[in-house]
Structure 1
Amino acid sequence: MIDVQRLRVLRTVAEHGSFNQAAAALHLTPSAVSQHVAALERSLGAQVVARSTRGVTLTPAGRIMVGAAESVAAELVHAKQQVDRLGSGRGQITIATFTSGGRLLLPGALASLAAAHPDTVVHVREAEPEDSLPLVRQGAVDVALAYHFDGPLPGRLGPSSSLAWTALMKDPLHVVLPDAHRLADRASLDIAELADDPWVLGCLKTEAYLRRYAERAGFDPEVRSTTTDYFFARSLVAAGVGISLIPSIALAPQIAGVRTVPVAPPTPTRHIGVATILRRNNPQVMTVIQALQEQIETLEES
């Protein structure tokens, strides 16, 4: 029998990368943390961490056990929530979402959820993927509407992960130009053609993405303004501050004074999906995922 407390200790060690920091987080001594990990290794008959002067790293067996620890922790939180709801007789779901995706996709999905499960209490919290995915793993959130760019998700996926990822749509980025821009009438643009233009960006991740593409095109972009809101970024474009790179779903509502031009291949793209706990058969969660899929199908047909 694997001790749940030892799994919790291993998970904390993995999060902090050292026995000392894990001990502080758990209000234990480093010696107690080491003893818990050693006892877990004895019960498994396998080493779960590799110790060095620079800290500890997970072994393959350790990664498997941390994934199991995340699943166990999330299931315990879920079970406690179910017990808490027994008295009220009402279901409950907590959804995390990034702003532009939530604004466009979530309202229709929540309407479908209300129709299918009228007694369900819905909680929505705004969070970027690097924050929302850990919340799903911890059981604090039932489903996260999230995204990633061409690279991997900001969280562990794979055989040892407690997360399941359901891809929903590709969200290509477009260049947004002032009406009077020399290239505003083009059908598409290569990023390299904009090497001399100043930029206004709607989030820090888009800036990092632009710089990566610009480096491939051989130039260093001049970023004059960085905001946390794509609508504000487009407003600055309309005011002549610079040009911008905006995901498709953040292009509504329209703003006077700007033109939107697709980027020629290879097109910068966000990949939107939902993260849930693996093997969780929650009817409210399944309704939300299905409603999001139907919402996207409707948008793509229009």
Structure 2
Amino acid sequence: MIDVQRLRVLRTVAEHGSFNRAAAALHLTPSAVSQHVAALERSLGAQVVARSTRGVTLTPAGVIMVGAAESVAAELVHAKQQVDQLGSGRSQITIATFTSGGRLLLPDALARLAAVHPGTLVHVREAEPEDSLPLVRQGAVDVAIAYHFDGPLPGRLGPSTGLAWTTLMEDPLHVVLPDTHRLAGRTSLDIAELAAEPWVLGCLKTEAYLRRHAESAGFDPEVRSTTTDYFFARSLVAAGVGISLIPSIALTPRIAGVRTIPIAPPAPTRHIGVATILRRRHPQVMTLVAALQDQSPTLDYAARR
């Protein structure tokens, strides 16, 4: 029989990368953490961590057991929620979403959820994908509206992790220019044409993405301003501070004084979807996911410039 506490300790070691930091997080001694891991290894007959002077890393067996630990933790959280619902008599659903995706996709989807499952308690929390996907695995949220760029999602998916990914929509990025800019009349732009321009960016991920594409085009972008809000970034563009790279779904509401121009193919794109627990698609989750799929628009946001 595998001890749940030992799984919890292994999961914390994996999260922190060392016995000492895991011990501090668990309020245990490093020796106690080491003993828990050693006992787990004895019960499995396999090594779960590789120890070195730089810390610890998971072995293939350790990766499997951390996935199991996350599943167990999620099930325990879900069981507690079910017990709480017995007392209240009301079902509930918790949703994590990044800001622009939630603003576009959630209102109509939540209206359908309320119509199909009246009385359901809805909890929404704002979170970026690197935070929201672990929350789904841990059972802290039922649904995460998330995105990734051309690379993989910031988290593991598939049967071994218990996470399912449902694609919702493609979200191409556009260049936003002052409407007096010399290129404002163009119908599309290549990133290389913007090598000499100062930039205003609406999030750190967009900056990393811009720098990667700019490097491929042979230039180092001059970033003059960074914000955590795309609306603010577009306002700075309207004020003449620079130009910006904005996802399609963040191009509303309109701002006077700017033009929005598509990037020539292959355009940088965000891929938006929803993550859920594979084996726990209760009716409220299924209704919400279906509604999100129906509310995922394929719109030509460039036509709104």
TM-score, structure 1 normalization: 0.96
Which of 275-284 and 48-57 deviates more?
275-284
Please tell me whether residue 100 in structure 1 is matched to residue 83 in structure 2: no
Could you say which residue in structure 1 is the equivalent of 2:148?
148
Deviations 1:75-130 (A, max 9, x none): 10010010011011100111111111011111111101101111100011111112
Deviation at 1:278, TM superposition (A): 2.7
Please tell me whether residue 186 in structure 1 is matched to residue 180 in structure 2: no
Q: How does 1:89-168 map to 2 (within 5 A)?
A: 89-168=89-168
Deviations 1:45-64 (A, max 9, x none): 21111111211110111101
Deviation at 1:153, TM superposition (A): 1.5
Could you say which residue in structure 1 is the equivalent of 2:234?
234
Partners of 2:132 and 2:144 within 8 A in 1? yes
Please tell me whether residue 177 in structure 1 is matched to residue 177 in structure 2: yes
Partners of 1:71 and 1:277 within 8 A in 2? no
Could you say which residue in structure 2 is the equivalent of 1:35?
35
Sequence identity percentage: 88
Structure 2 stretches of 5 or more lacking a match? Answer: none
CA spacing shift, 1:175–1:113, aligned 2, 3 Å: same
Deviation at 1:234, TM superposition (A): 1.0
Partners of 1:195 and 1:220 within 8 A in 2? yes
Which of 49-58 and 72-81 deviates more?
49-58
Could you say which residue in structure 1 is the equivalent of 2:273?
273
Could you say which residue in structure 2 is the equivalent of 1:7?
7
Please tell me whether residue 68 in structure 1 is matched to residue 55 in structure 2: no
CA spacing shift, 1:155–1:254, aligned 2, 3 Å: same
What's the Cα RMSD here? Answer: 1.5
Partners of 2:85 and 2:91 within 8 A in 1? yes
Could you say which residue in structure 2 is the equivalent of 1:26?
26
CA spacing shift, 1:298–1:112, aligned 2, 3 Å: farther
SS of 1:267's equivalent?
Answer: coil
Partners of 2:159 and 2:278 within 8 A in 1? no
Deviation at 1:156, TM superposition (A): 2.4
Partners of 2:169 and 2:298 within 8 A in 1? no
Deviation at 1:142, TM superposition (A): 1.1
Partners of 1:77 and 1:140 within 8 A in 2? yes
Alpha-carbon distance in structure 1 between the residues aligned to 2:203 and 2:38: 44
TM-score, structure 2 normalization: 0.95
Deviation at 1:298, TM superposition (A): 7.2
CA spacing shift, 1:262–1:143, aligned 2, 3 Å: same
Could you say which residue in structure 1 is the equivalent of 2:203?
203
Deviations 1:182-205 (A, max 9, x none): 111111110000111111111111
Alpha-carbon distance in structure 2 between the residues aligned to 1:211 and 1:53: 34
Q: How many residues in Structure 1 have an aligned counterpart in Structure 2?
A: 301
CA spacing shift, 1:51–1:159, aligned 2, 3 Å: farther
Deviation at 1:265, TM superposition (A): 1.6
Could you say which residue in structure 2 is the equivalent of 1:262?
262
SS of 2:296's equivalent?
Answer: helix
Partners of 1:237 and 1:244 within 8 A in 2? yes
SS of 2:177's equivalent?
Answer: strand
CA spacing shift, 1:298–1:172, aligned 2, 3 Å: closer
Could you say which residue in structure 2 is the equivalent of 1:212?
212
Look up the equivalent residue of 1:111 and give its one-letter code: A
Could you say which residue in structure 2 is the equivalent of 1:248?
248
Which of 287-296 and 159-168 deviates more?
159-168
CA spacing shift, 1:126–1:159, aligned 2, 3 Å: same
Partners of 2:169 and 2:297 within 8 A in 1? no
Partners of 1:46 and 1:61 within 8 A in 2? yes
Alpha-carbon distance in structure 1 between the residues aligned to 2:2 and 2:105: 42
Deviation at 1:157, TM superposition (A): 2.6
The runs of at least 4 consecutive aligned structure 1 residues that moved more than 6 Å come to none
Look up the equivalent residue of 1:200 and give its one-letter code: V
Deviation at 1:297, TM superposition (A): 4.7
Alpha-carbon distance in structure 2 between the residues aligned to 1:54 and 1:100: 39
